[in-house]
Amino acid sequence: MANVLTVDDSPSIRQMIKLVLAPEGHNVAEAADGAAGLAVGKTQKFDLVITDLNMPVMNGMEMIRAMRALPAFVGVPIVFLTTESDDSVKQEAKAAGATGWITKPFKPEQLLAVVAKLVRA
């Protein structure tokens, strides 16, 4: 069982992630943008962060850079879940500290496989 933070401006995407992960025993916290994600991320320890790239207030790239500057997020896997698939954006994400990348739309089993691979719960 892992504590997962999902950050996406789409309520339906956040709900879908929760519907996939919660039945597997994972606790899922939600935030609607990068600034809110960063704030929620400071409230408890997370084993994994799943974030969108394009969001209002603070985008996923900015949030990852901010999280990577915090001791609590050293070693915590951060995965982008986004419609972006451009290689240059993926390289920028990796440089910012992203661990992995899932392209929307995603299959539930794909998300579960990534979580199983990245989380040692």
Residue 103 maps to which CATH number?
A: 3.40.50.2300
Mean pLDDT of the chain: 93
Domain range enclosing 22: 3-118
Residue 84 CA neighbour count, 13 Å, CB half: 22
- Rounded average pLDDT over 14-39: 96
Number of separate domains in the chain: 1
Q: What is the pLDDT of residues 40-74, one digit of tens each?
A: 999 999 999 999 999 999 999 999 999 999 999 99
pLDDT of residue 84: 81
Candidates 105, 102, 98, 14; CA nearest to 55 is 14
pLDDT-derived band at 82 (thresholds 50, 70, 90) equals confident
Asked if residue 77 lies in contact with residue 118, where contact means CB atoms within 8 angstroms, the answer is: yes
Mean pLDDT of 94-121: 89
